Amino acid sequence: MTLDVAKLRGDFPILARTVRGGRPLVYLDSGATSQRPRQVLDAERSFLEQHNAAVHRGAHQLAEEATDAYESARARIAAFVGADPGEVVFTKNATEGINLVAYAMGNAAGFPGAERFEIGPGDEIVVTGLEHHANLVPWQELCRRTGATLRWYGVTDEGRVNLGSLELTPNTKILAVSHQSNVLGTILPVAELTRRAHEVGALVLLDACQSVPHMPVNLGSLGVDFAVFSGHKMLGPSGVGVLYGRAELLAAMPPFLTGGSMIEMVRMEGSTYAPPPQRFEAGVPMTSQAVGLAAAVDYLGHIGMDVVAAHERELTALAIDGLSAVPGVRIVGPTDLVDRGGAVSFVVDGVHAHDVGQVLDDRGVAIRVGHHCAWPLHRRFGVAATVRASFHVYNTPDEVTALVEGVQAAREFFGV
Amino acid sequence: MTLDVAKLRGDFPILARTVRGGRPLVYLDSGATSQRPRQVLDAERSFLEQHNAAVHRGAHQLAEEATDAYESARARIAAFVGADPGEVVFTKNATEGINLVAYAMGNAAGFPGAERFEIGPGDEIVVTGLEHHANLVPWQELCRRTGATLRWYGVTDEGRVNLGSLELTPNTKILAVSHQSNVLGTILPVAELTRRAHEVGALVLLDACQSVPHMPVNLGSLGVDFAVFSGHKMLGPSGVGVLYGRAELLAAMPPFLTGGSMIEMVRMEGSTYAPPPQRFEAGVPMTSQAVGLAAAVDYLGHIGMDVVAAHERELTALAIDGLSAVPGVRIVGPTDLVDRGGAVSFVVDGVHAHDVGQVLDDRGVAIRVGHHCAWPLHRRFGVAATVRASFHVYNTPDEVTALVEGVQAAREFFGV
Amino acid sequence: MQLEQMYQEIILDHYRTPHGSGLREPFDAESFQINPTCGDEITLRVRLDAGTVADVSYETLGCSISQASASVLTDLVVGRSVEDSLRILAAFQEMAQGRGQVTPDEDVLGDGVAFAGVAKYPARVKCALLGWMAFKDAVVRTERSEGGASSETADPKEATA
Amino acid sequence: MQLEQMYQEIILDHYRTPHGSGLREPFDAESFQINPTCGDEITLRVRLDAGTVADVSYETLGCSISQASASVLTDLVVGRSVEDSLRILAAFQEMAQGRGQVTPDEDVLGDGVAFAGVAKYPARVKCALLGWMAFKDAVVRTERSEGGASSETADPKEATA
Ligand SMILES: Cc1ncc(COP(=O)(O)O)c(C=O)c1O
Ligand SMILES: Cc1ncc(COP(=O)(O)O)c(C=O)c1O
C-alpha cells in the first residue's frame, strides 16, 4: 500500500490550523504527543452519545453495551500488539504502568504466590542510561523503599546501549529498558537484552512508548514479560495507556491501586482480589478513552504499521541528511538508519536549543526543546538541552524541509 | 432560578435514545456514572481539534495553548469547590486520589519534612462502616504494608454513622470518610468528624464522590485536609478525577507516581521533585479530560449547585414516598430527607435485586443492583444485594414514577 | 415484554421448587463460590460413587437465575458419569457464554436449554454459571483428594471464570 | 516575523556582551537555580554592603533570554539598596508573568522593559526569571546568615516559582 499523506492529513482537523499569525502548522512533536484523527474523535463521541455507562457494574442495557465496547477495545488493542486480551491492563498512561509494576513488586512480600516479585536488599534492578524519567525514577524510588540497588547499562558515543558495560547477575530481579529512545531514536537490542535477563531469571519490562506507535510490534513474540505504552502517542486519546503483562505473571502479581471493581470479596477485616486484568483496574476506568484508543489502532492497522514505519524512515533520512548539511548542527544519536526510529535530536553550535525552538515556532514549526525527560542522557552527552523533531504518519517531506530551513534561519538570526 | 429540565435534557444526546426494543431510556444510575451534556463533549473536541499538545513540556504555540487550557481548567475546578488551583491535583479517578494519599503516607519514612505522614505499628487509620471499597481497601492495604491498625465507626440501623461507636486517639493518623454514602444517601457529619480528628492531630480525607456532583461543596470552609472526587459522576469525562489537598500538606507530602513532569532534577543516582501540584502528576496527563471537566463545572455552576440539590431532593422525596407505598419494599437508609442526598437503595421481599433490576431494565429503567462497591455495608444490613436508583439534574418526576411502577411490575411478575 | 425470553416458565418453576436443594452428607468435596459483582453465593457439595455423580447438594443465596440453574444442574448431572457431567457442563457454559448465538442441544441440556435466553444478557451469565462453576470446582477437588490432597476451601478466584 | 518582539536588540546585546558575568569573591550568599523543563542553570552570588547590593556575579548555562536577563539584573540592582532591588524584582516579575498585559515602567526597569515581549511566550517566562529567582533566593540567604544561620545550598524547589 502506498500512503496518500495529503489525503490522510484531511483526517486530522488540527493539522489545518495556522499559528503565529497565519503560518501553517508544521507539527513535528509527535514524540511528545500525537494528534487524533476524526475517526478517533468520532468513536469516542458516539460511544458517549449512545452507550455511556459504568462498565462491569450494571445490569441494564447501557451498562452491557458500555462493557462490550470496553472489552472489545481491549481485545482489539491486544491483537494490535500480539497479546491476549487478558494480558492488557488499562492505565492512565505508560508512566502509571511502570509504577504499577514497581509498586506491585514492593507489595509482593507476604502476598501468597508472589514470591518471584519480592525485592529487597541485595537485589538489583537494571535500566539503561538512556531511559525516559518514567522508566528510571519509579525504579529509583523502589530501590529507596526496599533497599535494592539500581544499576544501568552505559550509552556509547553514538547513542547505543553499551552491552559490555554491565553483567546481569542472579540478583537481578528486573531489567527495565526502552524499546526505542525518545531522544536518540535508537532501537534497543531487545531480543539480546531479554535473553540475558531470562538467563539469570530476571523479568523484563519494555518501555514501548516510542515503538508501538511507530512500527509493527509483537509483544508476544518479543518474549518480554511486561510492556507499557500510551494512547496519546499513537493517535489515540490522552488519559489511557496500556500495561501488558504475560498472563501467568499478572495472575501471580499483587495489586497496586485498590478499590472498586478489582475485588473478589471485601470485609472490613480484609479483602481478596479479582483475577487479572480486573485486579489492576481499580475504580471506574477511562472507558471512552479505551474506545478511542481502539479506534486509533484500527486506524493504524488499516494503514499498516509497516507502511507507517517506512514513511517515518523516509522522513528521518531526510531530516538527518538535511540537518547534517547545516554547519554547526550536531545530531545526538545515530546518524545512520540502522536500528533507528524517527526521533532526531540535535544541538546548534552557538545557539541554545530554546532559541532555536523559538525561531522554529515563529515559523510555525512545532518541535520540542529541553531534555525531553531524559536528563541523565543529556548529561551523558554533555548538553543541557537539545532540539528534537519527531514524526508520525501525517508528516511530509516538505515539513522536514521547513525544519531544516528554520534551523538555518535560527543560525542567521543569532549571527552564528 | 427554576430549572427547565425538559430543555436541559436536550443537552444530553444519550437521554434521547431508546433501549430494549424502543422504550425510552430512564437513566437512574448517575450514582455509578453520569451522562455528559453536549457542552462538555464540544469543549473536549474543540480542544483536540485546535489546541492539543503535551502540556508543560513544549515551547511552541500549541503547547502554550494546551498548557493554558489545562491550567485554566484546574483553576475553574478549584474555584468550583472552594480551593486554590495549587491544591488541585488531577488523577484518573477518585480511587487513584485515595491511593495517592495512602501510598504517599507509606512513602513518608525518610522523606525530608514528611514526618507527619509517617505511619507504622501502633498507628491507627479510621474509616466508617459505610465506605465505598475505594475508601476502604487502600487503607486495609496501607495497614498491611505498614503494620498500622484499621478501625471504623459503626453504622446505625437507620444508616447513620454511629458517632458513639469509636473514640479517636492520639494514635489516629488519618480519618477517611465519605461525605455522602453512595448506597444510603446519608450525608455524614463532616464538621463534627473533622473536629474530632483535628483534636487528636489526625488528618481528614473526605471522599466527596457523591457530594461534589450533587450539592454545593466548599472544601476550604469544610476544613478537611484532603478530598477526592471523579469527573464522570459530575457530567464530566471519565478518566479524570481530583485530589484536593491543603497547600501546606501537599507541599510536604512525598510523591506517589513518579516519572516525567513531576521532577525537579534527575540523575541516575537519584532525583528530587517539583512542587505541588506537578509533584503528583507524573507523565502526560489527561489533558482533554481536564478541559472537559472544567466545562462540566461551568455547566453545573451555570445551573447553580443549590438548584441541582433542590431538584434532586424533590426526586428523592418522590422516590422514597413512592417506593415506601409498594408492599414488601424496604428502603435501606434514611427515609426522611434530613442530611440525606439522592441515592435510594432498597430490597423487595421475595424478589432478588437482580430480578428486580431485570424487570426494570426490560421497561427501560436503568438502575444498579448489587452491593455497589459497599459490601461490608450490605453485610451490616444483612442483605447480599440491593436495588439502587440515583439521580442527577436531568431526571424528572415521571422517571421516578416509572421506577415505582417497574418495582410493582417486578412483584407481579414474580408473583409476590 | 422481552422478559419472558429470559424468565422462561421452566426457569421460574425450578426457582420456585428447586430440586436437590439443601446441604447433605456424606460428600466428597465442597465448593464455595461467589459473584463479586452482586455478592451472590453458593455452597455446593458433590458425592461420587465409582465414577458416577451420586449426589449434588447445595445452598444458594442468589437470584432466580442462579437458583434455577443450580436446580437444573442437579437434574442433569446426578446419576451421570463424571465425564458425562463435565461434557454437559461444557455445553451449558458454551450456550451461556454464546451471546444467544449458540443453539443448545436439548438432548444434552434438557431443561438447561431454557437458559438460552439468559445468554443474551451478559450481566446475568455469571448468575447462570455460578452453580456450574461450583460443581466443576468440587469435582476437581474430589480428584485432588483421591490423589491424596485434602479437600480445602475453594479458591474463589475461579468463580468468575 | 514576530521574533523581534521577543528578541529585541537590547536583549541580543546583553546576550552577546553580558554585564557582570563570572563568579567573584567575596560574596555573602550564593544561589543555584535550575529550570526543570530544559535543564538551564544559574549560579549567582550576592555581596551586600550596609544594606546596599555591592556586587552580583553569576555563571549561567542557558538560552539567550536567561543570559540577557541576568545581565540586565546586574545593571539594575548593583548599587541599589536591598529594598529597592526587591522592588525592581517585583516589577520585573509582574511584567514577565503579565502575559503582555502589563505595561512596564522604564524608570524602574531600564533595559528590563525589553523583556515585555517575552511575557507573551509563557514557556520562556521561566527563562527570563531564572536569574531573578536566584537573586531573590541569595538575598534571603544573606538575611538568614545575618540571623546566624550558615549559607546553605539553594532549595531549588523555589526555582520554578
Ligand atoms: C462514594 C464513592 N467513593 C468512591 C468512588 C470511586 O470513584 P471512581 O470509581 O470514579 O474512582 C465512588 C464511585 O464509584 C463512590 O460512589
Ligand atoms: C520512551 C518514553 N517512555 C515513557 C514515556 C511516558 O509516557 P506518558 O507520559 O504517556 O506516561 C514517554 C513519553 O513521554 C516516552 O517517550
Centroid of ligand 2 to alpha carbon of A214 (angstroms): 14
| Ligand 1 atom 12, closest CA | B209
Measured CA to CA, the distance from residue B268 to residue A127 in angstroms comes to 10
Read off the pLDDT of residues A144-181 as tens digits, 9 standing for 90 and up: 999 999 999 999 999 999 999 999 999 999 999 999 99
Strands in A98-166 per DSSP E: 124-128, 149-153
Percent of the residues in chain B that have a pLDDT greater than 70, as a whole number: 100
Atom of ligand 2 nearest to the CA of A94: 11
Residue A14 confidence (pLDDT) above 80 = yes
Confidence of residue C39 (pLDDT cuts 50, 70, 90): confident
Read off the pLDDT of residues C94-138 as tens digits, 9 standing for 90 and up: 999 999 899 999 999 999 999 999 999 988 999 999 999 999 999
Q: Is the CB of B35 under 6 A from ligand 1?
A: no
Cβ contact, residue pair B264, D36, below 8 Å: yes
Terminal-residue alpha carbon distance, chain D:
31
Give CA separation, A85 vs A399, B173, B406, in Å: 38, 41, 37
Confidence of residue C160 (pLDDT cuts 50, 70, 90): very low
Choosing from B29, B130, B132, B226 the residue with most ligand 1 atoms within 8 A of its CB, the one to mutate for a pocket test is B132
Contacts of D45 (CB under 8 A, 6+ apart): D23, D24, D27, D29, D30, D55, D56, D57, D58, D138
Instruction: Count other C-beta atoms under 10 Å from residue A43's C-beta.
Output: 25
Helices C122-146 and A61-80 pack at an angle, to 10 degrees, of: 60
Catalytic residues of A: 373
pLDDT value at residue C154:
40
Residue D148 confidence (pLDDT) above 90 = no
Contacts of B11 (CB under 8 A, 6+ apart): B37, B38, B39, B299
Among B59, B64, B265, whose Cβ lies nearest the Cβ of D36? B265
Read off the pLDDT of residues B71-126 as tens digits, 9 standing for 90 and up: 999 999 999 999 999 999 999 999 999 999 999 999 999 899 999 999 999 999 99
pLDDT value at residue A134:
98
Read off the pLDDT of residues A224-263 as tens digits, 9 standing for 90 and up: 999 999 999 999 999 999 999 999 999 999 999 999 999 9
Residue C161 confidence (pLDDT) above 60 = no
Cβ contact, residue pair A33, B49, below 8 Å: no
Read off the pLDDT of residues A346-362 as tens digits, 9 standing for 90 and up: 999 999 999 999 999 99
Q: Is the CB of A310 under 6 A from ligand 1?
A: no
Across A386-414, average pLDDT: 98
Helices A287-303 and A38-50 pack at an angle, to 10 degrees, of: 140
Measured CA to CA, the distance from residue A153 to residue A176 in angstroms comes to 11
CB proximity D117 to A under 8 Å: no
pLDDT value at residue A1:
59
Please give the model's pTM, rounded to 2 decimal places: 0.96
Least confident piece of the model among B330-344, B361-375, D82-96, D135-149: D135-149
Read off the pLDDT of residues A62-121 as tens digits, 9 standing for 90 and up: 999 999 999 999 999 999 999 999 999 999 999 999 999 999 999 999 899 999 999 999
Measured CA to CA, the distance from residue C84 to residue A56 in angstroms comes to 33
Residue D143 confidence (pLDDT) above 90 = no
Contacts of D147 (CB under 8 A, 6+ apart): none
Q: Which residue in D90, D94, D100, D105 sits closest to D122, CA to CA?
A: D100
Interface of A with C in 39-58 (CB under 8 A): 56-58
Lining residues, ligand 2, CB within 6 Å: A 93-95, 132, 134-135, 178, 182, 207, 209-210, 230, 241, 373; B 260, 283-284
Confidence of residue B264 (pLDDT cuts 50, 70, 90): very high
Contact (CB, 8 A) for B352 and A48: no
Position with higher pLDDT, D149 vs A60:
A60
From chain C, the residues in CB contact with B362 under 8 A are 1-3
From chain C, the residues in CB contact with A64 under 8 A are 121-123
Q: DSSP letter for B270, please.
A: E
CB proximity C124 to B under 8 Å: yes
CB proximity D124 to A under 8 Å: yes
Q: What are phi and psi of B132, to 5 degrees?
A: -65, 150
From chain D, the residues in CB contact with A359 under 8 A are 3
pLDDT value at residue D144:
78
pLDDT value at residue D146:
63
Q: Whose atoms come closest to the Cα of A262: which ligand?
A: 1
Query: If DSSP codes are grouped into helix, strand and coil, which group holds residue A186?
Result: strand
Following DSSP, what letter does each residue of B219-262 receive, concatenated? HHHHT-SEEEEEGGGTTS-SS-EEEEE-HHHHHHSPPSS-STTS
Grid cell listed for D49: 554592603
Query: If DSSP codes are grouped into helix, strand and coil, which group holds residue B48?
Result: helix
Query: If DSSP codes are grouped into helix, strand and coil, which group holds residue B376?
Result: helix
Grid cell listed for A288: 471512552
In B324-352, which positions are buried (b, 16+ CB within 10 angstroms) versus exposed (e)?
A: eebeebbbbbbbeeeebbbbbbbbbeebb
Least confident piece of the model among A319-323, B100-104, B329-333, D100-104: D100-104
From chain B, the residues in CB contact with A354 under 8 A are 59
Across A305-320, average pLDDT: 98
pLDDT value at residue D145:
72
Among C121, C124, C160, whose Cβ lies nearest the Cβ of A274? C160
Q: Is the CB of B289 under 6 A from ligand 1?
A: no
Following DSSP, what letter does each residue of chain C receive, concatenated? --HHHHS-HHHHHHHHS-SSBB--SS-SEEEEEE-TTT--EEEEEEEEETTEEEEEEEEEES-HHHHHHHHHHHHHHTTSBHHHHHHHHHHHHHHHTTTT-SPP-HHHHGGGGGGGTGGG-HHHHHHHHHHHHHHHHHHHHHHHHHTT-------GGGGG-
| Mean pLDDT, rounded, of chain B | 97
pLDDT value at residue B59:
81
Contacts of A378 (CB under 8 A, 6+ apart): A183, A371, A384, A385, A386, D39
Centroid of ligand 2 to alpha carbon of A144 (angstroms): 22
The nearest alpha carbon in chain B to A359 belongs to: B60
Among B41, B103, B137, whose Cβ lies nearest the Cβ of A263? B137
Across the beta sheet with B88-91, the strand order is B88-91, B241-245, B226-230, B203-207, B172-178, B124-128, B149-153
Least confident piece of the model among B248-252, B290-294, D38-42: D38-42
Residue A271 confidence (pLDDT) above 80 = yes
Residue D150 confidence (pLDDT) above 50 = no
Read off the pLDDT of residues C40-71 as tens digits, 9 standing for 90 and up: 899 999 999 999 999 999 999 999 999 999 99
The nearest alpha carbon in chain C to A252 belongs to: C157
Instruction: Count other C-beta atoms under 10 Å from residue B200's C-beta.
Output: 16
Centroid of ligand 1 to alpha carbon of B393 (angstroms): 19
Residue B225 confidence (pLDDT) above 80 = yes
pLDDT value at residue D154:
40
pLDDT value at residue B154:
98
Grid cell listed for B266: 534527575
From chain C, the residues in CB contact with B360 under 8 A are none
Chains C+D touching (3+ CB pairs under 8 Å): no
Contacts of B92 (CB under 8 A, 6+ apart): A92, A96, A239, A283, A286, B239, B240, B241, B286
Confidence of residue C37 (pLDDT cuts 50, 70, 90): confident
pLDDT value at residue B1:
59
Cis, bond preceding D26 (omega within 30 deg of 0)? yes
pLDDT value at residue D159:
34
Residue C155 confidence (pLDDT) above 70 = no
Residue A57 confidence (pLDDT) above 90 = no
Distance of CA B220 to the CA centre of its chain: 17
Centroid of ligand 1 to alpha carbon of A284 (angstroms): 7
Instruction: Count other C-beta atoms under 10 Å from residue B212's C-beta.
Output: 28
What's the complex ipTM? 0.94
Following DSSP, what letter does each residue of B81-130 receive, concatenated? TT--GGGEEEESSHHHHHHHHHHHHHT-TTSTT-GGG---TT-EEEEETT
Residue B213 confidence (pLDDT) above 80 = yes
